Amino acid sequence: MSNPVSYTFKHFQKIAEENRFPENASIEHDRSLCLICNPHDIPGDVFEFCVDLIVSCILKRRPTLDEALVEAINEELEMLGEEANVSLNDLIAEKPEAMDAWKKWAWESINTGLEMLSMHSDRAPYVQLEDGLEQGKERYIEDKLMEFYKSQKSATK
């Protein structure tokens, strides 16, 4: 028998790799093993589980710091009505303005993923990063964002 945590992560990572996250609710899978279908079986903190899951999925789609990511960051800034002039070199060099822009992109990407995850089933948990702030999870969120960035940076050639 498969481990429900492992099954859930593999299932959603495959969906992310195939760029089918918006339709995740309609993709056939073992609902008895899926922890998003059965959130009462999630081990530990539901908020942290969902954020960990979504970050792992985003990393399947955007594993490195590259020009495509920089373009996505600049598009996100434009949608937020902010100046969009992040460069790949500034992001790799961890310049403060580039890191702030990356964090805004990451925040929005995680929240979008969490939103899509909530539509997976009628029992799927609905969480947003702001919920974590309200629950006193600022440190967890900051650590997760840095882990996310470092994973992308370490995979960059």
Element (H, E) at 157: none
CB-CB contact of 98 with 90 (8 Å): yes
Q: State the Cα torsion 84-87-91-96 to the nearest 10°.
A: -50
Residue 57: how many CA atoms within 13 Å on its side-chain side?
A: 29
Least confidently predicted of 18-32, 39-53, 112-126, 134-148: 18-32
Average pLDDT (67-84) is 92
CB 54 within 8 A of CB 115: no
Say whether pLDDT at 149 is over 90. yes
* pTM (2 d.p.): 0.94
